[in-house]
Every structure is written in C-alpha cells, then in structure tokens.
Amino acid sequence: MFSLQPRWIQLGLTVLFFFFIKIFLSSIILSSFSRIVIDAEFDHQESIEIFYSTENYFEKQQSIQSASFTSGKREAQSIKMNNQVARKLRIDLGGHQGQVKLYGLDLYSYFGEKIHFDPQQIYEQFTPNPDIIRFSVQDDHLLITSQANDPYLICKEELSHKSLFFSIIAPCIFSYLFFLLISNFSIRQFPPIYDLNHKSSSIGVNIGSLDGIRGMAALMILAAHSGINKGTIGSLGVWLFFALSGFLLATPFVQHPEKAVSYNFMSTYLIRRLKRILPMYYTYITLTMLFLNRNPEVFRHYLFLQADGHLWTIPQEMLFYLILPFIMIAIYILCRGNQIASIFLLLLFIYLTNRFLTMDVIALYGYGTMLPSKAGIFLSGVLFSYIYHWLYKNSFFQRLDRRNFRMFCSFTGILLIIALIFFSLHIIKTLSFFNGFNYPSIFGFLAGFFILLVLLAGDSLLGRIMSFPPLRAVGLVGFSFYLLHPLLLSLCLTLAQYYFHLKPSAPSLFIVTGISTYFLSTLTYTYIERPFLKKHQSSKQPHENTNL
C-alpha cells in the first residue's frame, strides 16, 4: 500500500501543491477585475462593449456594456465587471463608423492595484481590427477612426496583477497547511480506504461484491448523465440501487424473523435509516437550495414532498423505509419463520405492489411531475435476500459441487447483466421500447436476480469483477457520489467552456467528472456520512457468516 509517511514524498507533494495553487490563484484572482473605467470622447452617440475571456476567443455571454457616451463630450464611463476573470480583453467601440478619442483605460480589482493604460500604452498593447483605418497617438489621446460598423481593439498580452501576496505568500501559506495535513495523514486509515476491508454490512460481513454492484450502478447513472449513451442505462443503475437496498435491509429480518415485532429493533432500524440519508441529503439541499434562496421548494425537499432532478429517488427510498417494517411484520405473522412461505408471500406482495400501487393510491412529486412508487423493485431485492439465505441453509444446495455451481451462477450473471445493458443502450431500434424506463418492474426484478447471482458466484469470474477495487471504492461512497455527480458534471462543463472554450466529448466528461466526484465524495463520506454511522457500526454484534 502506498504511504505518505516518507518525508521526501510529503515534501514533493507540497511542492507540487504550491505550483498548483499558484497557478490556480493566478487564474481566478490575479486576472479578475471588479470594474473597468474608459475615458473617451466620440463624435457621435455611442456605447462601448467589453468582451472578456481566458483565451483569444470571445462570446456574447461574456460581455458587458457601458452607458451611452454623449456626442462631442469627453466622459469617463465606469463599467462593472463583477470580479470576472479577464485574461484577454476586447474593446468594441460601438456599432457605427466615426471617430473616437481614447484618453485612458483603467482596470480595478479587489485583489491588487489598478492596471492603467495611457494613450501610448493602448497604442502599443492593443491591436485594432481592419475596420479601423486610423490608429495614432495625438498629444493626450489616441485617435481612432473607423470606416465600418464594427471597430474593436484586442489586448495583445494577458492581463494580470502584480501581487506578492497572491503570487508567493498565499501559495506558501496554503502549502504549509497542506503539508501539516498530509504529514499526519495515513492512506491506510483514511475511511474510504480503511472501510473497503474493515466495514461491516448489514449482513454482518463485508461482501465486497455488493459495494461493486453499487459502484457499477453509480457509474451507469453517471454514464447516462454525461451523454455517453442516449438510452436508459441510468434507469438500470437506479433499479440496481433500489434492489440492493431491499436486499440488505431485509437481511436482519431473514436471519431473525422475530425482530419484525421488536419495538427496540424497529426503532433502531428507523433511526439508522435516517442517519444514513439525512445528513448528506440535507447538506446537499442546504448548499444547493437554501443558500441560493430557493424558497419554498427547499422546505418541500426537506420534507421529501418534492424532488428535483436526480433527487427523485430519495422520497422513493424514504417511502420504502417506512413500508418495510409492515411487510416484515406481515411475513412474520403469516409465515412464522418459514422461508419458503415467506418467498411465495413476497412474490404475491411484488405482484400486488406492481399491479395496484398506482399513482391513484400514492404519488411522489419528482422530476417536475408525479411519479408512481417503485416499491416493487425494493421488494424484489427483499425477495432475493430470502432466496439467498434459504439456499444457504438448504441441504440440497449444500451438497452441490460448489465450484461448478458458482461457475454456472457466474456465467448466468454475466449474460444477464450484458443483456440488461444491451437493452438499456437501445442498440437495436426495433427493440428500444424494451428497457428499464418502460418496464421498471421487469428490469427491477432482474436487477434483484443479478444481485443474487453475484453472491452465489462467490469468488468466480463474476464475483471478482464485482469485487474490482475501483468499483468497490466508488460503491463505498456511492450515496455521496450519486448526490454530487450532477454538480461536478456541471462544473466540469463550465470550466471547459469558460477557460478553454472546449466542448468535451462524452467519454472525457465521464472520466473527469467521475474522478473529481469520487475525490469529493471521499471527503463528504468521511466528514458527513460516516460520523453519523460510526457509533452504530461499532456497537453491532457480529452476525453469522452468510457467504455461500
């Protein structure tokens, strides 16, 4: 395992961080301006438009306009730039031909002294476009004469303040703080790394393949949102999430049916579910809505009565958390621990839920419309949890050749996930109607079956694929990853367009967003999600090993 403990590694990372933060501050601080003052006189009434950019490429949305200059009168117009980054500058001298006298140009910033251009400096450091036929210094001004309707000047050099503090002192301060952090940092003990091998699931053991399934589901959703595929691969990812939740939440009740009528256990169950969802979810809602004064929808989100965009899944989860205790009580009363009877009863519940739990009964507001409950998909996960534990205890399956049985489950599971992905990608147009979005009950049921096959496959090929460390790493922080990925996706797009004027391809957007979302998710998992669950996890009693 790589370690940060050797001092030379810490110093090397600190030096790299110094140059990174220096370049970063230079980009967003030393080239940002609060306003620009233009001292000019026109021989006709005109307004000046300022275009700013980070490259030699200017767009209308990155421009600001002055008030009108009075014809024949020298005026100093102040134009607010709102701390926009303007390494490159273009000055459009209106939309009419004529004559302009420029007396000076000043750029102001909160982060440094003003940058002043006198007539001679404007002449030397700005390039006129072909519409300008005269460009010369005359005593105290720069005389500009245009013969067409689009005269403008472009600054030759990048604009940047000279600031000792932001160029040297601030990067040194941040680098020193960074050094203090990494000098006491252990990768082995960092929760997203440590928990990969030490955390305990609700089954009582850490089954890495379940984290891998969760990671695969998160990446499917990211693939859909980053534009890699226009199909419904995202829906399949969500159904995997739902089925996996049902599978894990049902496990304690399968192992100990009497817990369904235990008030203490049910209270603990509900508190644990709230601790799992609320801290990170409320943090996300507060940062993205409350602080942006998005009232009253923020309060509807707090109460799970509204769910914009990808948040539509959260009320679905919360509804299932509330339904599950009643399902478990009914199974306990009617079946009294008989797992075969419980399986058939669950099949009946799934049918009744998919058939009759329509929007006439209950509807959840999400994605700007009313959505039906997806409880049937969660119950599919519950069903396969019962089947998994029944198989574990069944004497017939105990006598089967484990190696051949696992290979069969591995082969079947690989074919199943390939088929589900194939239909979700809409590769064949005539079959595109059959997908997870149009048939959620079928795809949700098969998602639960896939989870069962992964566990039954053990350490065969399918189990090893789902236990692939990068998949498990994403799955471990999967809830944060799911909540945060649209923000990082939007940020990556904005940065690419604003700073580099690029429209990134879907694969590159997927990779960059995935990596950045993962690293941010490790922080939210460590400092927001995990602290609320740590006390509960440390007090768990070990359960029986249910690895088949």
Choose from 71-75, 429-433, 497-501 the range with maximum mean pLDDT.
71-75
Residue 368 pLDDT? 82
Enumerate the domain spans of the chain: 7-26+165-183, 30-162, 191-538
Q: Residue 104's Cα: distance from chain center in Å?
A: 46
Lowest mean pLDDT among 99-103, 198-202, 405-409, 420-424: 198-202
Where helices occur in 29-159 by DSSP H, the ranges are: 119-125
Q: Give 509-531 pLDDT, tens digit per residue.
A: 999 999 999 999 999 999 999 98
Cβ contacts of 122 within 8 Å, gap of 6 or more: 102, 104, 105, 142, 153
Give the DSSP letter string of 138-170: ETTEEEEEESSS--EEEESSPP----HIIIIIH
- Residue 6, phi then psi, degrees to nearest 5: -55, 135
Residue 509 pLDDT? 94
Q: Work out whether the CA dihedral 316, 529, 489, 516 comes out positive or negative.
A: negative
Q: Does domain 30-162 have CATH number 1.10.287.610?
A: no
User: Which of left, alpha, beta for 83 (phi over 0: left; psi -120 to 50: alpha)?
Assistant: left
Q: Is a pLDDT exceeding 80 seen at residue 386?
A: yes
Q: Give 164-209 pLDDT, tens digit per residue.
A: 888 899 999 999 998 988 887 777 778 888 888 777 655 555 578 9
**pLDDT above 90 as % of the chain:** 66
Residue 176 pLDDT? 93
Q: What is the mean pLDDT of residues 450-457?
A: 95
Asked if residues 272 and 248 have their Cβ atoms less than 8 Å apart, the reply is no
Q: Is a pLDDT exceeding 70 seen at residue 103?
A: yes
Confidence of residue 542 (pLDDT cuts 50, 70, 90): very low
**For residues 328 and 257, what is the distance between their CA atoms, to the nearest angstrom?**
8
Q: Give 112-159 pLDDT, tens digit per residue.
A: 888 999 999 999 999 999 999 999 999 899 999 998 888 999 999 888
Asked if residues 417 and 217 have their Cβ atoms less than 8 Å apart, the reply is no
Q: What is the mean pLDDT of residues 413-425?
A: 96
Residue 535 pLDDT? 57
Confidence of residue 41 (pLDDT cuts 50, 70, 90): very high
**For residues 538 and 200, what is the distance between their CA atoms, to the nearest angstrom?**
9
**For residues 241 and 213, what is the distance between their CA atoms, to the nearest angstrom?**
8
Q: E strand or H helix at 85, and its extent? A: strand 75-85
Residue 332 pLDDT? 96
